[in-house]
Amino acid sequence: MILIYHYHSRTMYVCVCCAVTDRQIRDAVSGGAVSLSDVQSVFPVGMCCGRCEDVARNVVDESLRELTCSRGS
């Protein structure tokens, strides 16, 4: 599954159980997180039922790609 969601759009809850948003995940990546595990050390995303892990991982990966592209420009 590929998540197509733009950072400048509305905020989306990725983890409803723990109320973690895509913006919080993106901020964690901007702050140095490079994996879902790194994000989980800051936010409890995927720590309850686990159904959001795939989407959370996609947000992390997408954020890393965006950072790489913006730094390479």
Domain residue ranges in the chain: 21-30+38-72
Predicted pLDDT at 63: 96
Among residues of the chain, what percentage have pLDDT more than 90? 77
Q: CB-based contacts of 52: which residues, under 8 Å, 6+ apart?
A: 14, 15, 16, 17, 20, 45, 46
pTM: 0.83
Averaged pLDDT for residues 37-49: 96
- What is the CB-side half-sphere exposure of residue 67 using CA atoms within 13 A? 15
Return the pLDDT at 70. Answer: 81
Q: What is the pLDDT of residue 10?
A: 81
Quick one: pLDDT at residue 1?
44
Cα separation, 46 vs 48, whole angstroms:
6
Least confident of 7-16, 25-34, 53-62: 7-16
Helix/strand/coil percentages in the chain, nearest 5: 45, 5, 45
Q: How far is CA 44 from the centre of its chain?
A: 12
